[in-house]
């Protein structure tokens, strides 16, 4: 059996569960017996396509306003997520996070995918937002990030509509599949894992999906 085993990942670079889920997938793949045949395709999903380019509010203040919780509750929620990230070797700084629109970031990931660097770009954007407090809606910042990853031609993106159709196509596909939350992983076009369910659960579904293709 030589055909690739595709994993399509719908995620957003400001989604904490997406960052956690991506790391959990990597851990699962490190134990998956057929990881050498896995091809990961990054798919765009905007948590809020109507969000502003940037906000004067902190992340905690924005969460408080959006979900009707107190500032203290929002801070406590962010702390719990940061603790989960620490278990996976990450050091988040959500007090520095700068919320903003992610459409340009998704275009940059699509450009990176055309150069075989989608994973590296996705990881770098997660780090920029969750760890470094960088404004990932800012196109100059995105260009600098692209250059640090080795992606070519990022500065040209902002002068045309390159990769806008690809981003919209991913979002349309998510609607067709009934995906309303991320991360959502589609394994070998057969199984779906929604949310950061842990590396053990993801590994279990990976093995089930592989067993299914061996049966067919």
Could you tell me how far CA 216 lies from the centroid of its own chain? 31
pLDDT band with cut points at 50, 70 and 90 for residue 2: low
Superfamily of domain 5-215, CATH level 4:
Glutaredoxin (3.40.30.10)
Q: What is the pLDDT of residues 181-203, one digit of tens each?
A: 999 999 999 999 999 999 999 99
Please choose, from the candidates 21, 22, 100, 91, the residue with its C-alpha nearest in 3D space to the C-alpha of residue 59: 100
So what's the pLDDT on residue 110? 98
Q: Which helix (H) or strand (E) holds 7?
A: strand 5-11
The encoded tokens of residue 24 equal 């959990």
State the pLDDT at residue 133.
96
Looking at the chain, the whole-number percentage of residues with pLDDT higher than 90 is: 92
**pLDDT tens for each residue of 61-102:** 999 999 999 999 999 999 999 999 999 999 999 999 999 999
Q: What is the mean pLDDT of the chain?
A: 95
Q: For residue range 17-58, what is the model confidence (pLDDT) as tens digits?
A: 999 999 999 999 999 999 999 999 999 999 999 888 778 889
What are the DSSP calls for 157-212, one per residue? HTTS-TTHHHHHHHHHHHHHTT--SS-EEEETTTEEEES---HHHHHHHHHHHHHH
Predicted confidence at residue 180, as pLDDT, reads: 94
Check residue 136 and report its DSSP letter: T
> pLDDT tens digits, residue range 131-157?
999 999 999 999 999 999 999 999 999
**pTM of the entire structure?**
0.95
Tell me the DSSP string of 29-59.
Answer: HTT-TTGGGEEEEEEE--S-TT--S--SS-H
Q: Using CA atoms in the order 143, 157, 107, 127, what is the torsion angle rounded to 10 degrees?
A: 0
């Amino acid at each position: 059996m030589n055909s690739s085993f595709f994993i399509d990942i719908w995620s957003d670079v400001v989604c904490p569960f997406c960052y956690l889920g991506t790391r959990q997938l990597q851990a699962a793949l490190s134990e998956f017996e057929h990881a050498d045949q896995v091809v990961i395709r990054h798919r765009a999903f905007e948590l809020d396509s109507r969000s502003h380019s940037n906000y004067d509010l902190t992340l905690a203040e924005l969460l408080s306003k959006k979900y009707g919780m107190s500032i203290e509750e929002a801070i406590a929620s962010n702390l719990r997520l940061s603790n989960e990230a620490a278990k996976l070797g990450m050091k988040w700084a959500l007090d520095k996070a700068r919320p903003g629109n992610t459409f340009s970031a998704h275009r940059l990931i699509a450009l990176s995918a055309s150069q075989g660097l989608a994973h590296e770009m996705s990881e770098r954007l997660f780090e920029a937002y969750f760890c470094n407090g960088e404004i990932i809606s800012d196109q100059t910042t995105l260009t600098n990030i692209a250059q640090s990853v080795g992606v070519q031609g990022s500065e040209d993106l902002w002068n045309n509509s390159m990769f806008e159709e690809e981003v919209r196509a991913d979002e349309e596909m998510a609607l067709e599949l009934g995906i309303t939350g991320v991360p959502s992983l589609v394994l070998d076009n057969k199984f779906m894992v929604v949310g950061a369910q842990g590396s053990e659960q993801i590994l279990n579904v990976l093995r089930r999906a592989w067993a299914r293709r061996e049966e067919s």
